[in-house]
Amino acid sequence: MKFDFDEVIERRGTDSSKWNSNSNPNFLPMPIADMDFRAAPEILAALHKRVDHGVFGYADAPPWVVEAVQEKLFRDYGWETEPKWFVWLSGLVVGLNVACRMLESAADAVVTTTPIYPPFLHAPDFTGHPRIDVPLLQERTRYEIPWDALEQQLASPTAKLFLHCNPHNPAGRVMRREEQERLAELCQRHDVLICSDEIHCDLVLEPDLRHIPMATISPEVAARTITLMSPSKAFNLAGLMWSFAVIPDVALRKAFLRSARGIVTELNVFGYAAGEAAYRHAGPWHDALIQVLRRNRDLVRETVADLPGLWMPEIEATYLAWIDCRGRQFPCEPSLYFEKNGLGLSHGSAFGARGFVRFNYGCPLPTLQEGLRRFREIVAPLARVNA
Ligand SMILES: Cc1ncc(COP(=O)(O)O)c(C=O)c1O
């Protein structure tokens, strides 16, 4: 089946947060992480069917949806789960906050690596816990975990929870098995719980890399892990607010549920229909999407490589390119300068990294080409730093 990922679909006037982010009709927004693609036909059909039923009361997770999720986890990761392990959530950010809220003492600290998706930085603050940031090492072509620094922080007596992001937003890294094992071993050794945000798990772009859920490393690791997942990124369903936590350990699950009480409510009925269709029927659409995202990522990489002074790590997963602009003399914070010149990119400072921008390439080719044209035109006249 052929899917047209290069059709430009008008999103202005459709309540899109991304396309509402600037009222200038000539502004091109490429920040917030959703894609400008229509969802898979199988998902649209499932949603139409649900609409046609016409009754939209509160919903519990239907057993066939639970089965669809379990089958997906087994098919893709060999992960055998039980229905009772699932906690349904209206978003992964909710899950990050509920996990932090679970910590017992106000002194309990949350460890994470930076740069990082901003809600990782906010969740500890919102829930009144100290945050310990461990900056990733910016190597020649990618980010690496600073193992000694991380161990030192996890060993701190107050460190109780590690907020892990894999695949990593914005670093674009897919953790290798050895890295996952080493992270897990450190958390076990220092008795630190793991909340593993794996929302980008279905967006691995390198053919020889596989996503490895943290909880599949061993039963002992699974027992200290809260895994957060959703089809929302890879199937472009973010506005349906449908996601889940997988928590095999009964005590941990009870603590999570206690912390969610009165805050996490029933989920959107459309989410169940779309989620099941995504996991059961949208495989061919998803395969085609990955090809398009690889092409788009390569175009962004080529543009950045043509502009000396800029740096972009290898983006192994996600549709988000992370670009270090510190090698060019921007007159102000780069994201603001791009914005002033008609191109909306995410602000690096929100991720804990001034001087960086994040470029969302989950869009049709004409939109991407225009975004890259503007990007080049804005950067090219700027002098190099120390050149
Ligand atoms: C790592 C990560 N976690 C969570 C989210 C958002 O999750 P949700 O919309 O389900 O709250 C995003 C969105 O970009 C993300 O990149």
Nearest residue by C-alpha to atom 4 in ligand 1: 92
Do residues 350 and 333 make contact, with C-beta atoms less than 8 angstroms apart?
no
Single-letter code of the amino acid located at 122: H
Distance 69 CA to ligand 1 centre (A): 19
Q: Quick one: which atom of ligand 1 is closest to the CA of 34? A: 14
Does 33 sit in the ligand 1 pocket, CB within 6 Å?
yes
Per-residue pLDDT of the chain (387 residues; tens, 9 = 90+): 589 999 999 999 999 999 998 989 999 999 999 999 999 999 999 999 999 999 999 999 999 999 999 999 999 999 999 999 999 999 999 999 999 999 999 999 999 999 999 999 999 999 999 999 999 999 999 999 999 999 999 999 999 999 999 999 999 999 999 999 999 999 999 999 999 999 999 999 999 999 999 999 999 999 999 999 999 999 999 999 999 999 999 999 999 999 999 999 899 999 999 999 999 999 999 999 999 999 999 999 999 999 999 999 999 999 999 999 999 999 999 999 999 999 999 999 999 999 999 999 999 999 999 999 999 999 999 999 986
Q: What is the pLDDT of residue 1?
A: 57
Nearest residue by C-alpha to atom 7 in ligand 1: 92
SS3 231: coil
SS3 257: helix
Q: Where are the domains of the chain?
A: 56-281
Does 351 sit in the ligand 1 pocket, CB within 6 Å?
no
- CA–CA separation, 236 vs 9, rounded Å? 14
**Residue 40 Cα distances to 19, 150, 188, 272, angstroms:** 21, 40, 40, 15
Distance 220 CA to ligand 1 centre (A): 26
Q: What is the pLDDT of residue 377?
A: 98
Residue entry with tokens 């600073």:
146
Domain covering 56-281: architecture: 3-Layer(aba) Sandwich (3.40)
Please, which residues have CB within 8 angstroms of residue 133's CB and are 6 or more apart in sequence?
112, 113, 114, 121, 352
Q: What is the pLDDT of residue 2?
A: 82
Which DSSP state fits 266? Answer: P
Q: Quick one: which atom of ligand 1 is closest to the CA of 238? A: 9
- CA–CA separation, 175 vs 145, rounded Å? 10
Name which of 187, 143, 124 is nearest 318 in CA terms: 143
Single-letter code of the amino acid located at 229: M
Burial of residue 55, with CB atoms counted within 10 A of its CB: 0-12 exposed, 13-18 middle, 19 or more buried: exposed
Helices 269-281 and 63-77, interaxial angle, to 10°?
A: 40
Does 70 sit in the ligand 1 pocket, CB within 6 Å?
no
Nearest residue by C-alpha to atom 13 in ligand 1: 33
- CA–CA separation, 84 vs 68, rounded Å? 14
**Strands ordered across the beta sheet of 356-360:** 320-324, 356-360, 346-347
Please, which residues have CB within 8 angstroms of residue 187's CB and are 6 or more apart in sequence?
154, 162, 193, 194, 221, 224
- CA–CA separation, 328 vs 250, rounded Å? 52
